[in-house]
Chain A
Amino acid sequence: MDLTPLVEAAQNSALSEWMRTSLKAVAIINALHIMSIVTVFGTIFIVDLRLIGYPNVKRSFLNMHHELLRWTWGAFGVAAVTGVLMFMVNAVTYHRNTAFWLKMAAMVLAGLNMLVFELGTMKSAPSWDKNAIPPTSARLAGALSIVLWVAVIVFGRWIGFTKGYDFTIPEDVQFDFPVQ
């Protein structure tokens, strides 16, 4: 599937143009993205650790799941919106960026891991809700989630170093594509 027309349309949109020309938009959106992604990671990390059984299994898993994941989802919503906006600013280059696709792949895997857990493993949760070591499938889901969300942060940061955010192009730099 060729996404190029869609990617070009995103980059040529009025919103994208506004973000590129605005002095502060990219900076503020980027900061909001970090604020939300660290909240996603931190809150899900607590749930994942509980699944693994660390530091203990004294507290109800289902209660923790209920209390924390609404914060995770709320933050994820902000991260998704700011992420799409950041993508739009420079869609064509992100679309060609390996780190960007690795980040998307890690997110898809994290999502699949969550789906398998939520729709399958979690059905048995009442039997290991507290004072019991969760089954291997649950502990595996927790461990995978930690690894995948750390990967999301790693690749996310790598995007910034393989594709600059700075739109001011130094005079002595030659580009092999037309600069608008």
Chain B
Amino acid sequence: MHAFAEWLGSTPLSIAIQSRLWLTPLLQTIHITMIGIVFVSMLMVALRVLGQVRADQPLAEVWHRFSPWFWTALGVMLGTGLILTIGEPVRQASALSFWLKMSMILIGVTSALYFGRTVAAAAGAAASSVYSSRARVVAVATIVLWLVIIFLGRSIAYDVEIWESWHLA
């Protein structure tokens, strides 16, 4: 993986990204704005399950209000994240935070896909439905998961400080 990252870092595409000094902060800014939309979209759905927002609105409707924003912003994040990674492949590959973040995103995306299907199947549920404690635990876990993803995203730049000897370089 390290050899691949070094090769990727020497490709003309990577060098083109690295040599445009304004590109990295611009992409990171877009990336951060988008995680705000991704995280808060999920937060709204989770808070609905917890009964904190939109208690009068069926969960399926809340999901349909926010899921297009979630998926679109996630798509933009994937694009900006990919360009950023191509621009700094060695830093990314040697960061434990990067790999943990990718694993967490996989869990987050899989559970969002699963949730989207489940909620569509249960669309007839009463507007004021109150959710079981199990559903509430899942809602809280989802909020925590996306917060951890943001944390890990920021710690890629501080991988040695955060993980010390666990850093992969």
Residue A101 is within 8 A (CB to CB) of chain B in the complex: no
A39 to B52, CA, bound (A): 16
Per-residue A-contact encoding for B130-161, CB less than 8 Å = 1, 0 else: 00000000000000000100110111011001
Q: Which residues of A contact B18 (CB under 8 A)?
A: none
CB interface residues, B 12-54, toward A, < 8 Å: 21, 24-25, 28-29, 32-33, 35-37, 39-41, 43-44, 47, 52-54
Q: Which residues of B contact A123 (CB under 8 A)?
A: none
Q: Is the pair B37, A42 in contact by a Cβ cutoff of 8 Å? A: yes
Q: Is the pair B155, A153 in contact by a Cβ cutoff of 8 Å? A: no
Q: Which residues of B contact A38 (CB under 8 A)?
A: 32-33, 35-36, 39-40, 150
Q: Which residues of A contact B125 (CB under 8 A)?
A: none
Could you tell me which B residues sit within 8 Å of A by CB distance? 21, 24-25, 28-29, 32-33, 35-37, 39-41, 43-44, 47, 52-54, 57, 65, 147, 150-151, 153-155, 157-158, 161-162, 164
Residue A51 is within 8 A (CB to CB) of chain B in the complex: no
Contact (A35, B150) CB under 8 Å given A23-B161, A27-B162, A160-B25: yes
Query: With A41-B33, A46-B40 given, can you name 11 additional A-B contacts, CB distance below 8 Å?
Result: A23-B164, A27-B157, A27-B162, A31-B150, A32-B151, A35-B147, A35-B150, A38-B33, A38-B35, A43-B40, A150-B33
Residue A12 is within 8 A (CB to CB) of chain B in the complex: no
Quote the shortest CB–CB distance from B64 to chain A (angstroms): 10
Quote the shortest CB–CB distance from A166 to chain B (angstroms): 9
Q: Which residue in A24, A35, A45, A154 is a CB contact (below 8 Å) of B151? A: A35
Q: Which residues of B contact A158 (CB under 8 A)?
A: 25, 29
Q: Is the pair A39, B154 in contact by a Cβ cutoff of 8 Å? A: no
Closest to B150 in A: A35
A46 to B73, CA, bound (A): 14
- By secondary structure, the A interface counts as helix
Q: Is the pair A161, B25 in contact by a Cβ cutoff of 8 Å? A: yes
Q: Which residues of A contact B157 (CB under 8 A)?
A: 27, 165
Q: Which residues of A contact B21 (CB under 8 A)?
A: 161
Contact (A26, B36) CB under 8 Å given A31-B150, A68-B53: no
Q: Which of A38, A59, A67 has the most CB of B within 10 A?
A: A38
A82 to B47, CA, bound (A): 25
- By secondary structure, the B interface counts as helix
A135 to B94, CA, bound (A): 53
Q: Is the pair A39, B28 in contact by a Cβ cutoff of 8 Å? A: no
A55 to B151, CA, bound (A): 30
Residue A34 is within 8 A (CB to CB) of chain B in the complex: yes
Quote the shortest CB–CB distance from A65 to chain B (angstroms): 12
Q: Which residues of B contact A28 (CB under 8 A)?
A: 162
Quote the shortest CB–CB distance from A56 to chain B (angstroms): 10
- 22 A-B pairs with CB atoms under 8 Å apart are A24-B161, A24-B162, A27-B155, A27-B158, A31-B151, A31-B155, A32-B151, A34-B154, A37-B32, A37-B36, A38-B35, A39-B43, A41-B40, A43-B40, A43-B43, A59-B57, A67-B54, A71-B47, A157-B29, A158-B25, A161-B25, A165-B157
A59 to B150, CA, bound (A): 30
Residue A121 is within 8 A (CB to CB) of chain B in the complex: no
CB interface residues, A 1-45, toward B, < 8 Å: 23-24, 26-28, 30-32, 34-35, 37-39, 41-43, 45
